[in-house]
């Protein structure tokens, strides 16, 4: 479900404040993000997660669950907020 409140108020983090005060920098970041997420690698990544969501029956039913990677090959069902807040898993970083 889309968050229709997204972008209507400025956030409290340092990054959110910076982008709120520097619209040119925000525009540059948005362009970069769009280019990054348009790559075949990111499309494949999202496609795989969506396939798993459909298989588990959680796609589009607004249950608040996401498929989360716990390793490069293993996934689990996890709440959306926990999945997006989990910054401890850094196995996607290139070494």
Residue 50 tokens, joined: 């969506």
Paired residues of 68 in beta bridges: 76
7 part of a folded domain: no
Calpha distance 43→52 (Å, rounded) = 14
| Domain range for 37 | 14-85
Question: What are the backbone angles phi and psi of residue 36, rounded to the nearest 5°?
Answer: -60, -50
**Mean of the pLDDT values across residues 74-86?**
80
| Position 90 in a domain | no
Per-residue pLDDT reduced to its tens digit, 36-69: 999 999 999 889 888 888 888 887 787 888 888 7
| pLDDT for position 26 | 93
Residue reference for tokens 């040119």: 24
- When divided into structural domains, the chain yields a total of 1
pLDDT of residue 29: 94
């Amino acid at each position: 479900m889309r968050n229709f409140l997204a972008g209507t108020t400025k956030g409290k983090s340092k990054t959110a404040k910076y982008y709120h005060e520097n619209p040119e920098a925000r525009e540059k970041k948005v362009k970069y993000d769009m280019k990054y997420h348009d790559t075949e690698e990111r499309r494949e990544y999202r496609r795989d997660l969506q396939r798993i969501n459909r298989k588990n029956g959680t796609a589009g039913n607004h249950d608040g669950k996401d498929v989360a990677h716990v390793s490069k090959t293993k996934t689990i069902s996890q709440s959306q907020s926990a999945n997006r807040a989990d910054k401890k898993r850094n196995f996607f970083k290139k070494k």
